[in-house]
Amino acid sequence: MARGQLREIELSPGVEGLELTEGAAKVHLKKDQGVFYNPVQCFNRDISTAVINEYLRERRDFIIQNVNLNLLAAVYTYGLCYCLQKKAWEHRATILEALAASGLRSIRYALELDDDLVKEIVANDISKSAVESIRLNADLNGLGDKIRPNLGDAVLYMYQCRAEGRYFDVVDLDPYGCAAKFLDPAVQAVQNGGLLCVTATDMAILCGNTPETCRAKYGSVSLRGKFCHEMALRILLFSIESAANRHGR
């Protein structure tokens, strides 16, 4: 498990900031940005990285196994190993982090996922200062060619991608609190057979503190009890499934 370390540094003469190191990533943040860093979420990012890496490996193997006639013709000319590697390289995955904030998660993905699996990571945020921070931190980690910062509302951006026929192999949602309003656009922005990663931090609602709010946001009534955490997970999974089923995903 990667442990995050936070220390004070001088970003430039007279400008104080923070340096956050987590996993293979290093992120610089200005103090006046009001940075919030929760060390517990480090485990969340560890799990996401491991799951995405395994998914993309299986995806690559599936692509290689589905050899078409055009590839077979190329095999005769260039050799099997070269052609299979070339096919897998051409079909590398695209990843969307819809609510990127500092871009820490995207940077970890770019550094820690197998290099031959990922083509591009779009790190989107609605804040101009956040997008500028993503750009600077991507350059700091030597990832300017792999991470593409994008300024926009997450919901509108995912709907726009769907309208333009641009789908992502992996969509990662890590909102502040409730994830419900992002589920409908997210299931439409991800490829068929793609991976949707969802983090929900509104456990008080999902665990039964306010059943009426849970009913309004997730379409389910939460109950308090020893089983509340399992029920919270089931409610979230039901919401994702419902959104996906509505669009035949």
Output the domain CATH number for residue 149.
3.40.50.150
* pLDDT tens for the 249 residues of the chain, in order: 556 787 888 777 777 788 889 999 999 988 776 556 677 889 999 999 999 999 999 988 887 777 554 555 444 454 555 455 555 556 889 999 999 988 999 999 999 999 889 999 999 999 998 999 999 999 999 999 999 999 999 999 999 999 999 999 999 999 988 999 999 999 999 999 999 999 998 989 999 999 999 999 999 999 999 999 999 999 999 999 999 999 998
Give the residues across from 118 on adjacent strands. Answer: 93
CA 17, 37, 106: angle at the middle one, nearest 5?
90
Domain count along the chain: 1
Per-residue confidence (pLDDT) for residue 33, from 0 to 100:
66
| DSSP, residue by residue, 181-222 | HHHHHHHHHEEEEEEEEE----HHHHTTS-HHHHHHHHSS--
Per-residue confidence (pLDDT) for residue 76, from 0 to 100:
47
- Identify whether 115 is part of a domain: yes
Per-residue confidence (pLDDT) for residue 11, from 0 to 100:
77
Backbone φ and ψ of 167, nearest 5°: -110, 150
- Identify whether 164 is part of a domain: yes
Residue 248 exposed, middle or buried by CB count within 10 Å (0-12, 13-18, 19+): exposed
- Identify whether 137 is part of a domain: yes
Per-residue confidence (pLDDT) for residue 23, from 0 to 100:
92
Give the tokens for residue 151. Answer: 């300024």
- Identify whether 239 is part of a domain: no
From CA 203, how far away is CA 218, in angstroms rounded?
Answer: 12
H helical segments located in the chain: 41-65, 69-78, 80-90, 104-112, 128-140, 154-163, 180-189, 203-206, 211-218, 228-246
Per-residue confidence (pLDDT) for residue 3, from 0 to 100:
66
From CA 120, how far away is CA 67, in angstroms rounded?
Answer: 24
Per-residue confidence (pLDDT) for residue 245, from 0 to 100:
95
- Identify whether 223 is part of a domain: no
- Identify whether 247 is part of a domain: no
**Could you tell me the strand order of the sheet in which 15-22 lies?**
5-12, 15-22, 25-30
Per-residue confidence (pLDDT) for residue 177, from 0 to 100:
85
The boundaries of the domain holding residue 111 are 40-65+92-201
- Identify whether 162 is part of a domain: yes
Confirm if 113 and 53 have CB atoms less than 8 A apart.
Answer: yes
| Core vs surface per residue 28-38: b (16+ CB within 10 A) or e | ebbeeeebebe
